[in-house]
Amino acid sequence: MFERFTEKAVNAVSEAQRFAKELKSLEVCPEHLLLALVSEARGVSLKLFRMYNVTEVSMKEEVQSYVTTSLKSMEYVPFSHNVKDILKRTLDLASKSGNQNILFEHLFLSVITDKNSNIQTILEKFNFQIPVAREILTKLVQRKIKRLEHPEVEDDEEKLTTFDAGYEGEALADVFDRAVSKLSAAGYEILGTEQILASILESENSALINTLGAYGVNSDSFNEKLAHIESRQSEFEGKKIIFTPNAFVMMNLAMQTAKEMGSSVITPEHIVLSILKAKKGLAYEIINSIGVNEEKLSEDIIKPIEKQMSETLLIMKLAKEEARRLGRNVVGTEMFLLGIIAEGASLASEVLSDLEITMKDARFVVENLVGYGNEYFDKEIVFTKRAKRVLERAWVMAKKQRKQRIEAVDLLLSILDEPDSLAMKVLDNLGVDSMEIKHGIKGIK
């Protein structure tokens, strides 16, 4: 019976059994369930009890006067017929409200509306307004079921992003100053990937320069190869803009890479990684001609970044692992949510934990929404367009607050601004709404 119950709901039933044993009752009664609900209440449920000054201590005193006790406690206390009926009604209520899981709130509703026990009499002593609570809880658990295409399918063509705030760090500002100065010397007016990478290679000693040098990519070898190139044809595959088309693509990739790594600014490392990923343009052709192992070079560039791993970079790694676990090559907002929960140390993770959102329950809902696939072994893992939007918004939030890195809380708040996302559907199924999360964030801050 309990395989569909969320961990919160199961905990409430287990707590009812514990109270029955503690009070030396012969069986678990509805009154024990009510006491357990008060003890385990969080979020909206807790607010409802607090509205009427219902505490665990005061409720326990009332329950004791209504349940039958024995002289000694029993090792195992069975469920009464009334409790079994309540649990069956809870299952029916969840099905009617469109939830695949049985939530704590479903159990709450079934208990307070039970007419075959002393529950309503007990609640009346606290002036607890059952109709008010029923209306609030019913709205919370009513969810319409829609057949979803995974994940967050959109038909519109993905457009390249325009960017104007990516180069605020001193290192990258110097890179672009040098790159622009090279334009007039070369007789060009449009910035290409070759000027950008040549400028990066002229930077002072750094982990990136040392890594590139180990692969034979340094200022001398690059400029020597560049001097023998007479045509910029590899740079132009579209209309002329401030960047060559390939440089524009590369910078957009660099911005996306920065976001995925949790950085609010683009760094030279992000640019080199994007050149290797784009696999086109003069800069890439020169690197390729040097005979570099591109995959290993990318790994070596990423290693120092991972040593200073930000919350968001860890969340992205965990999100990809969750996608792999389901045999998916696509990371959507639902995987971001699982990543935040799994990260476990951030403010965002703490808020979700306080709302009793567990990895076990969240995974169960995601598995039902997304299902298992066999895509991971065939393709590179990619982000959905909606997931990219969430990252973009989190990036903007971090920049507005002048943060060097995107924090997990920026990512969570950005998810809340996508009401139709799979992540929000997961939260809905777990009985948590955006207001509870925002309130939790403010409370901890």
Tell me, what's the pLDDT at 148? 34
User: Tens digit of pLDDT for each residue in 81-97?
Assistant: 999 999 999 988 887 76
For the chain, what percent of residues have pLDDT higher than 90?
A: 17
User: Tens digit of pLDDT for each residue in 254-280?
Assistant: 877 777 776 666 778 888 888 888 888
In this structure, of 12-21, 92-101, 401-410, the range with the lowest mean pLDDT score is: 92-101
Return left, alpha or beta for 431; rule: phi > 0 is left, psi -120 to 50 is alpha, else beta.
Answer: left
pTM of the model: 0.48
User: Tens digit of pLDDT for each residue in 138-174?
Assistant: 877 764 333 334 445 443 334 444 444 444 455 565 6
The mean predicted confidence, pLDDT, of the chain is 79
Q: What are phi and psi of 26, to 5 degrees?
A: -80, -25
In this structure, of 270-284, 329-343, 367-381, 405-419, the range with the lowest mean pLDDT score is: 367-381
Kindly report whether the peptide bond that precedes residue 419 is cis, defined as omega within 30 degrees of 0.
no
User: Tens digit of pLDDT for each residue in 372-395?
Assistant: 665 544 456 778 888 888 888 888
* Structure-block tokens of residue 301: 């560039």
Distance between CA atoms of residues 239 and 157, nearest Å: 19
What's the 3-state SS for the chain?
Answer: CHHHECHHHHHHHHHHHHHHHHCCECCECHHHHHHHHHHHCCHHHHHHHHHCCCCHHHHHHHHHCCCCECCCCCCCCCECHHHHHHHHHHHHHHHHCCCCCECHHHHHHHHHCCCCCCHHHHHHHCCCCHHHHHHHHHHHHCCCCCCCCCCCCCCCCCCCCCCCCCCCCHHHHHHHHHHHHHHHHHCCCCECHHHHHHHHHCCCCCHHHHHHHHCCCCHHHHHHHHHCCCCCHHHCCCCCCCECHHHHHHHHHHHHHHHHCCECCCCHHHHHHHHHHHCCCHHHHHHHHCCCCHHHHHHHHHHHHHHCCCHHHHHHHHHHHHHHHCCCCEECHHHHHHHHHHHCCCHHHHHHHHCCCCHHHHHHHHHHHHCCCCCCCCCCCEECHHHHHHHHHHHHHHHHCCCCECCHHHHHHHHHCCCCCHHHHHHHHCCCCHHHHHHHHHHHC
Interhelix angle 104-112/30-40, rounded to 10 degrees, is: 140
| CATH number belonging to domain 170-307 | 1.10.1780.10
User: Tens digit of pLDDT for each residue in 366-375?
Assistant: 888 887 665 5
Higher-confidence position of 430 and 168: 430
Whether the per-residue pLDDT at 362 is higher than 70: the answer is yes
Is there a shared CATH topology between the 170-307 domain and the 311-444 domain? Answer: yes
Tell me, what's the pLDDT at 157? 39
Tell me, what's the pLDDT at 419? 87
Could you tell me the CATH superfamily of domain 311-444?
Clp, N-terminal domain (1.10.1780.10)
Which single residue is written with the structure tokens 């992000």? 270
Nearest to 247 by CA among 173, 168, 194: 194
Nearest to 33 by CA among 117, 121, 126, 111: 111
* Domains of the chain, residue spans: 2-141, 170-307, 311-444
Whether the per-residue pLDDT at 212 is higher than 80: the answer is yes
* Structure-block tokens of residue 442: 């403010």
Cβ contact 280:234 at 8 Å: yes
Distance between CA atoms of residues 75 and 72, nearest Å: 10
Q: What are phi and psi of 62, to 5 degrees?
A: -70, -45
In this structure, of 95-104, 386-395, 431-440, the range with the lowest mean pLDDT score is: 95-104
Topology of domain 2-141 in CATH is: Double Clp-N motif (1.10.1780)
Cβ contact 128:81 at 8 Å: no
In this structure, of 192-196, 212-216, 330-334, the range with the lowest mean pLDDT score is: 192-196
Tell me, what's the pLDDT at 118? 94
Core vs surface per residue 143-161: b (16+ CB within 10 A) or e: beeeeeebbbeeeeeeeee
